[in-house]
C-alpha cells in the first residue's frame, strides 16, 4: 500500500457565513479549480461538486442518517428536520453533518462542507458511478482531508471542529424518561421504585408538562408545588433531574421571558420587521434569534432559574426549529374549508387540496422563508441559515451554564445539532419507533455520529412512538448498556415502559442488564476519556480498528473504544446470533448478570452463538482487558475499593484505566497502568499509578487471566 501523508486543504467560495462549526483556522487554497478529483459547477444560488465513484468506493459519515454506515447508493438531504416516522425513505433528519469520508483503494478523503444552508449528498443514488453534492448556497467553505489512514482523517476532523463534549460521569448511568411524568408525585413514585427494586438509575427527565402552559423557564406550580424541595428530595436519593428546554417563547403579557425578548429585540423577525409569530406547544410564540451573541447571552443567563435550584442538566428539543402552524396557515386552512363543497365530492380535488394543506401546515419547512435573522449584513431568511439554529441554541446554553457554574461540567443533549455541536453537547437521535428496525438503526446512527465527532449520543431505548413488547425492550436495553447515552424514553400514547412494567422475569433481566452497565461503568468511562483525548470515536465501526475488507458491511456489531466488541441481538425470537470476529482470538462473554462467569475463548472468523433472552454477546480482544467493579445504585454512591480485570493474555497486555472527578472541566485524569506478560503457564505482572487531580479509591484489583487453552490464572494487585 502506498502511504500518503495527511493533507488538509481549505477552499472558499463566495463570502461564507461565520458558522463557528470549524474552530481551527487553516489557510485558504488560492485556486478552487484544484479541488482534488471533484468537478465544480457554480451558479448564483448553488454550487455542485461531482466525483466519479469506482465500484469499490465506500462512503461513511454524515451523522445520524438513515440506512447502513456505508452511505453508498443512497441520498441524504442535509436539512435539519424531525423525520417522523424515521422510515428508510427519510432523506433528512435532525442532525445535518456534512462530513463524508470517501474510501478508495489506498486512501481516505474526508470532505467537510461548512455552510448553514441545505446540502444534498447523492452518494450514487441517481447514478451509481457518481457522487453528487449540491449546496443551496454560493457562500461556503470546503475542507478536504486526505490520508491513507482513516484515523488521521477523523483526528483532523476533530482538530478542525473541536474535541468532543464531555458530560459529567453520572451521565453514563441509566436514565429514565417519559413524555411526561405529569406531577411531582409521579416522579417520586418512579424514583422510589428504582431504589426499592435496586435497579440502578442516575437521572429522571421532566418533559414539557412540567412547564406552566409550556412557557420555557417556568414550572407549573399545581402539579409541582414546592419545586425546590421536590428537586432536593429527588436529588437526595441520588438522581439528577433533567428538564426539557424548547426554544419557542410563548406570547403572553406579563411573562418576563417574552417581555424581555420583545423589549430587547431578541426574536426573529418577519418580512415587515415585526417579531415573527409561529405556533408550537405553547400556542403562538416567538423564536429567539440565537445567531446573535446578545441573544445567546440572554438565553444562557436564563438557565439561572434552574441552576439556582441545583439543576445543571438539560435536554434541548424542537430546536430545528419544529413548527406546528402559523396564523397565516390557519387562515388558509379555514379559507379552504369554507370553500369545500359537498356537491364536489364526486371530484376528488378539494380533498386532495385539504390533504395537501394539512401536510403543508405540519411541515415546518414551509415556514422557514418567512422569518429572518439579524446579521451584520442585514436580515437573512431563516432558510439560508437553518442548519445552525439548534447549534446556536446549544452555544447559548453551554456558555450560560459555564458562566453560572465555572469549571463544572453540565449535562446537555440536543435533538437538533450540526458540525460544531459535537464540542458542546450530546445528541439523542429524535423520535424513533418501537420497531426492531430502529434498534438496528440505533447502532448505525451512533457509529456514524461518532465518526462525526459526537461521542456522547444514543437513541430512545424501547422506541419513542409505539409500544415495545418485553423482548424488544430487553434487547434494546442490552444494546443501550454499551452506548454512552443510556436512556429509556417513550411518548404519551405509548404504554408505560419503566423496567418493572412488564413481568417479573423481564424486570429481573432489565435489572441485571442495567446493573451490568454499572459494573462496567468505570471501564466504559475510561475508554470514553481515552477516545475523546485521542480525538477518535468511542463507538467504533469495526473497520476503524481492523484492516479486513469484509468489515465494511458490518452494521450490527461495534466496539466501545478499541478492544471491547458488542454484538447485540437485533431480531425478534433470536436464539442464535451470527458474529464475525476479526483478526485475533477473543474472550467471549455471554453477558447477563455482571457476576456471571461464563467466559469462553473463540478464534477469529464467523461464529453462530446461542443467546438466551437474558444475554448479550460481548467480546474482549486478545491481549486486552476489561475492568469490572461492584455496581452502585447511582454514581458516587459507594467508595469503590475493589475492581477486577478480565482478559485473554497470550503475549503482553497493557491496560490503562483513566479516572477523574467526573464533574470538573479542567480535570487532569489519573492513570492506572497494568502490564501483564505471559510467561508459559504463568504471568508476570507490573503496575504503576500516575497521580491525577482525583485520588483512586481502589485498594485491591483481582485479575482473571485466561490462556488460549481456557485455563484461568488468578492474581491480585494491592494499591496503596
Ligand atoms: O413533538 O416534548 O423528540 O423526546 O418527548 C414531540 C415531547 C415533542 C419530541 C422529542 C421527544 C419529546 C417530545 N418532543
Per-residue model confidence as pLDDT tens digits over 585-626: 999 999 999 999 899 999 999 999 999 999 999 999 999 999
Contact criterion met (CB below 8 Å) for 460 and 489: yes
Q: pLDDT-based confidence at 35, cuts 50/70/90? A: confident
Mean of all residue pLDDT scores within the chain: 95
Q: pLDDT-based confidence at 354, cuts 50/70/90? A: low
C-alpha span between 140 and 136 (Å, rounded): 10
Q: Is the CB of 427 under 6 A from ligand 1?
A: no
Q: Is the pLDDT of residue 340 over 80?
A: no
Region of poorest pLDDT, from 183-192, 409-418, 472-481, 548-557: 548-557
Q: Is the pLDDT of residue 497 over 70?
A: yes
Contact criterion met (CB below 8 Å) for 258 and 250: yes
Catalytic hit among 320, 460, 512, 552: 320
C-alpha span between 633 and 518 (Å, rounded): 8
469 given a catalytic annotation: no
Burial class (CB in 10 A: 0-12, 13-18, 19+), 618: buried
Encode 406-431 in three state secondary structure. CCECCEEEECCCCCCHHHCCEEECCC
Q: Is the CB of 179 under 6 A from ligand 1?
A: yes
3-state secondary structure of 433: strand
658-677 core/surface letters (b: 16 or more CB in 10 A; e: else): bbbbbbeeebebbbbebebe
C-alpha span between 345 and 194 (Å, rounded): 56
pLDDT, residue 300, reads 98
Catalytic hit among 246, 317, 399, 624: 317
Atom of ligand 1 nearest to the CA of 178: 5
C-alpha span between 218 and 205 (Å, rounded): 16
Q: Is the CB of 420 under 6 A from ligand 1?
A: no
Query: Among residues of the chain, what percentage have pLDDT more than 90?
Result: 91
- From 280, 323, 491, 493, give the residue whose CB has the most ligand 1 atoms within 8 Å, as the site to mutate: 491
pLDDT, residue 351, reads 59
Q: How far is the CA of 326 from the centre of ligand 1 (A)?
A: 20
Residues 89, 441, 533, 665, Cα dihedral to 10°: 90
Write phi, then psi, for 129 (nearest 5 degrees): -100, 10
Q: Is the CB of 207 under 6 A from ligand 1?
A: yes
CA-nearest of 696, 344, 662, 341 to 529 is 662
Q: How far is the CA of 178 from the centre of ligand 1 (A)?
A: 9
Q: Is the pLDDT of residue 445 over 80?
A: yes
Q: Span 116-124, mean pLDDT?
A: 98
Asked if the peptide bond before residue 85 counts as cis, ω within 30 degrees of 0, the response is yes
Region of poorest pLDDT, from 294-298, 354-358, 611-615, 660-664: 354-358
Q: Is the pLDDT of residue 348 over 70?
A: no
Asked if the peptide bond before residue 597 counts as cis, ω within 30 degrees of 0, the response is no
317 given a catalytic annotation: yes
pLDDT, residue 464, reads 98
Atom of ligand 1 nearest to the CA of 84: 1
Q: Is the pLDDT of residue 1 over 60?
A: no
Protein residue whose Cα sits closest to atom 8 of ligand 1: 318
Q: Is the CB of 208 under 6 A from ligand 1?
A: yes
Atom of ligand 1 nearest to the CA of 208: 2
Catalytic hit among 114, 431, 622, 667: 431
Strands in 670-679's sheet, in edge-to-edge order, are 652-659, 670-679, 682-690
Q: For the whole model, what pTM was predicted? A: 0.97
Contact criterion met (CB below 8 Å) for 137 and 90: no
3-state secondary structure of 445: helix
Q: Is the pLDDT of residue 251 over 90?
A: yes
Atom of ligand 1 nearest to the CA of 492: 5
CA atoms within 13 A on the CB side of 134: 11
Cell numbers given for 54: 469506482
Q: pLDDT-based confidence at 142, cuts 50/70/90? A: very high
C-alpha span between 486 and 456 (Å, rounded): 10
Residue 714: count of CB within 10 angstroms of its CB? 9
pLDDT, residue 600, reads 97
Atom of ligand 1 nearest to the CA of 431: 3
Tell me: the pLDDT tens digits for 637-655? 999 999 999 999 999 999 9
C-alpha span between 385 and 460 (Å, rounded): 28
Q: How far is the CA of 374 from the centre of ligand 1 (A)?
A: 29
Q: Is the CB of 246 under 6 A from ligand 1?
A: no
C-alpha span between 696 and 662 (Å, rounded): 12
Q: Is the CB of 320 under 6 A from ligand 1?
A: no
C-alpha span between 481 and 491 (Å, rounded): 21
- From 84, 204, 207, give the residue whose CB has the most ligand 1 atoms within 8 Å, as the site to mutate: 207
Q: Is the pLDDT of residue 631 over 80?
A: yes
pLDDT, residue 361, reads 74
Atom of ligand 1 nearest to the CA of 491: 5
Q: How far is the CA of 475 from the centre of ligand 1 (A)?
A: 23
What does each C-alpha distance from 642 to 174, 348, 365, 421, 698 come to in angstroms? 22, 73, 55, 37, 5
Q: pLDDT-based confidence at 106, cuts 50/70/90? A: confident
Residue labelled with grid coordinates 467553505 = 141
Q: Is the CB of 667 under 6 A from ligand 1?
A: no
Atom of ligand 1 nearest to the CA of 322: 1
Q: Is the CB of 472 under 6 A from ligand 1?
A: no
C-alpha span between 417 and 427 (Å, rounded): 7
pLDDT, residue 105, reads 86
C-alpha span between 315 and 206 (Å, rounded): 9
pLDDT, residue 712, reads 96
C-alpha span between 49 and 702 (Å, rounded): 57
Q: Is the pLDDT of residue 342 over 70?
A: no
Tell me: the pLDDT tens digits for 216-247? 999 999 999 999 999 999 999 999 999 999 99
CA-nearest of 643, 646, 645, 632 to 696 is 643
Q: How far is the CA of 491 from the centre of ligand 1 (A)?
A: 7
Q: Is the CB of 317 under 6 A from ligand 1?
A: yes
Protein residue whose Cα sits closest to atom 13 of ligand 1: 179
471 given a catalytic annotation: no
Q: Is the pLDDT of residue 698 over 60?
A: yes
CA-nearest of 604, 483, 600, 626 to 551 is 604
Distance between start and end Cα atoms, the chain:
49
Q: Span 693-697, mean pLDDT?
A: 96
C-alpha span between 507 and 477 (Å, rounded): 12
Asked if the peptide bond before residue 180 counts as cis, ω within 30 degrees of 0, the response is yes
Contact criterion met (CB below 8 Å) for 114 and 99: no
Tell me: the pLDDT tens digits for 285-334? 999 999 999 999 999 999 999 999 999 999 999 999 999 999 988 887 77
Cell numbers given for 477: 436495553
Residue labelled with grid coordinates 364526486 = 346
Write phi, then psi, for 88 (nearest 5 degrees): -60, -25
Write phi, then psi, for 345 (nearest 5 degrees): -65, -20
Q: Is the pLDDT of residue 344 over 70?
A: no
Protein residue whose Cα sits closest to atom 1 of ligand 1: 318
Q: Is the CB of 430 under 6 A from ligand 1?
A: yes
Q: Span 34-41, mean pLDDT?
A: 86
Q: pLDDT-based confidence at 32, cuts 50/70/90? A: confident
pLDDT, residue 349, reads 60
Tell me: the pLDDT tens digits for 517-560? 999 999 999 999 999 999 999 999 999 999 998 898 899 999 99
Protein residue whose Cα sits closest to atom 5 of ligand 1: 179
pLDDT, residue 552, reads 85
Residue 340: count of CB within 10 angstroms of its CB? 12
Q: How far is CA 99 from the centre of its chain?
A: 16
C-alpha span between 307 and 536 (Å, rounded): 32
Protein residue whose Cα sits closest to atom 12 of ligand 1: 179
Largest CA-CA distance found in the chain, in angstroms, rounded: 92
Amino acid at each position: 500500500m502506498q502511504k500518503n501523508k495527511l493533507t488538509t486543504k481549505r477552499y472558499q467560495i463566495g463570502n461564507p457565513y461565520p458558522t463557528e462549526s470549524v474552530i481551527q483556522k487553516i489557510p485558504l487554497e488560492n485556486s478552487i479549480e484544484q479541488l482534488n478529483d471533484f468537478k465544480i459547477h457554480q451558479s448564483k444560488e448553488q454550487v455542485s461538486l461531482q466525483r466519479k465513484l469506482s465500484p469499490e468506493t465506500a462512503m461513511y459519515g454524515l451523522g445520524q442518517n438513515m440506512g447502513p454506515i456505508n452511505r453508498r447508493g443512497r441520498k441524504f438531504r442535509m436539512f435539519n428536520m424531525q423525520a417522523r416516522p424515521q422510515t428508510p425513505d427519510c432523506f433528512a433528519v435532525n442532525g445535518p453533518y456534512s462530513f463524508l469520508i470517501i474510501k478508495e483503494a489506498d486512501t481516505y478523503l474526508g470532505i467537510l462542507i461548512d455552510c448553514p444552508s441545505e446540502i444534498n449528498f447523492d452518494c450514487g443514488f441517481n447514478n451509481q458511478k457518481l457522487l453528487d453534492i449540491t449546496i443551496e448556497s454560493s457562500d461556503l467553505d470546503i475542507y478536504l482531508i486526505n490520508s491513507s489512514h482513516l484515523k488521521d482523517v477523523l483526528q483532523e476532523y476533530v482538530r478542525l471542529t473541536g474535541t468532543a463534549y464531555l458530560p459529567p460521569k453520572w451521565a453514563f448511568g441509566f436514565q429514565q424518561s417519559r413524555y411526561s411524568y405529569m406531577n411531582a408525585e409521579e416522579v417520586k413514585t418512579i424514583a422510589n421504585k428504582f431504589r426499592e427494586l435496586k435497579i440502578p438509575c442516575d437521572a429522571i427527565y421532566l418533559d414539557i408538562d412540567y412547564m406552566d402552559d409550556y412557557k420555557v423557564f417556568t414550572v407549573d406550580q399545581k402539579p409541582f408545588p414546592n419545586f425546590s424541595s421536590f428537586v432536593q428530595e429527588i436529588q437526595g436519593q441520588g438522581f439528577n433531574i433533567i428538564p426539557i428546554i424548547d426554544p419557542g417563547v410563548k406570547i403572553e403579557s406579563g411573562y418576563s421571558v417574552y417581555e424581555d425578548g420583545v423589549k430587547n429585540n431578541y426574536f426573529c423577525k418577519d418580512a415587515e420587521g415585526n417579531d415573527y409569530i409561529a405556533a408550537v406547544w405553547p400556542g403562538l410564540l416567538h423564536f429567539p434569534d440565537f445567531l446573535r451573541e446578545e441573544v445567546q447571552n440572554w438565553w444562557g443567563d436564563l438557565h439561572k432559574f434552574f441552576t439556582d435550584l441545583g439543576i445543571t442538566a438539560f435536554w434541548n428539543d424542537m430546536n430545528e426549529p419544529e413548527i406546528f402552524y402559523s396564523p397565516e396557515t390557519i387562515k388558509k386552512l379555514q379559507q379552504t374549508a369554507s370553500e369545500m363543497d359537498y356537491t364536489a365530492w364526486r371530484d376528488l380535488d378539494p380533498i386532495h387540496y385539504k390533504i395537501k394543506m394539512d401536510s403543508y401546515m405540519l411541515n415546518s419547512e414551509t415556514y422557514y422563508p418567512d422569518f429572518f435573522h439579524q446579521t451584520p449584513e442585514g436580515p437573512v431568511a431563516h432558510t439560508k441559515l437553518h442548519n445552525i439554529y439548534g447549534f446556536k441554541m446549544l452555544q447559548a446554553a453551554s456558555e450560560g451554564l459555564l458562566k453560572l457554574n465555572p469549571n463544572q461540567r453540565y449535562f446537555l443533549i440536543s435533538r437538533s445539532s450540526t458540525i460544531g455541536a459535537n464540542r458542546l453537547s450530546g445528541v439523542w437521535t429524535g423520535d424513533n419507533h418501537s420497531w426492531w428496525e430502529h434498534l438496528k438503526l440505533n447502532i448505525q446512527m451512533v457509529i456514524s455520529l461518532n465518526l462525526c465527532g459526537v461521542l456522547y449520543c444514543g437513541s430512545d431505548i424501547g422506541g419513542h412512538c409505539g409500544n415495545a413488547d418485553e423482548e424488544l425492550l430487553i434487547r434494546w436495553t442490552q444494546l443501550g448498556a454499551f452506548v454512552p447515552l443510556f436512556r429509556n424514553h417513550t411518548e404519551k400514547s405509548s404504554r408505560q415502559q419503566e423496567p418493572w412494567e412488564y413481568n417479573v422475569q423481564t424486570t429481573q433481566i432489565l435489572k441485571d442488564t442495567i446493573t451490568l452497565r454499572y459494573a462496567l461503568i468505570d471501564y466504559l468511562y475510561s475508554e470514553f476519556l481515552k477516545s475523546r483525548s485521542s480525538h477518535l470515536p468511542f463507538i467504533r465501526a469495526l473497520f476503524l480498528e481492523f484492516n479486513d475488507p469484509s468489515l465494511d458491511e458490518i452494521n450490527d456489531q461495534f466496539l466501545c473504544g478499541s478492544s471491547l466488541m458488542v454484538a447485540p441481538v437485533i431480531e425478534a425470537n433470536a436464539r442464535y446470533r451470527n458474529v464475525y470476529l476479526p483478526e485475533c482470538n477473543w474472550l467471549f462473554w455471554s453477558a447477563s448478570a455482571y457476576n456471571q462467569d461464563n467466559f469462553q475463548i473463540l478464534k477469529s472468523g464467523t461464529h453462530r452463538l446461542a443467546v438466551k433472552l437474558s444475554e448479550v454477546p460481548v467480546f474482549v480482544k486478545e491481549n486486552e482487558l476489561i475492568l469490572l467493579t461492584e455496581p452502585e445504585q447511582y454514581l458516587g454512591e459507594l467508595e469503590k475499593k475493589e475492581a477486577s480485570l478480565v482478559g485473554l493474555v497470550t503475549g503482553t497486555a497493557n491496560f490503562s484505566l483513566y479516572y477523574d472527578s467526573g464533574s470538573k472541566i479542567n480535570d487532569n485524569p489519573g492513570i492506572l497502568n497494568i502490564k501483564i506478560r505471559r510467561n508459559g503457564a504463568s504471568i508476570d505482572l507490573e503496575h504503576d499509578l500516575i497521580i491525577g487531580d482525583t485520588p483512586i479509591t481502589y485498594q485491591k484489583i483481582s485479575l482473571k487471566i485466561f490462556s488460549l487453552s481456557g485455563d484461568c490464572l488468578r492474581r491480585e494487585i494491592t494499591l496503596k
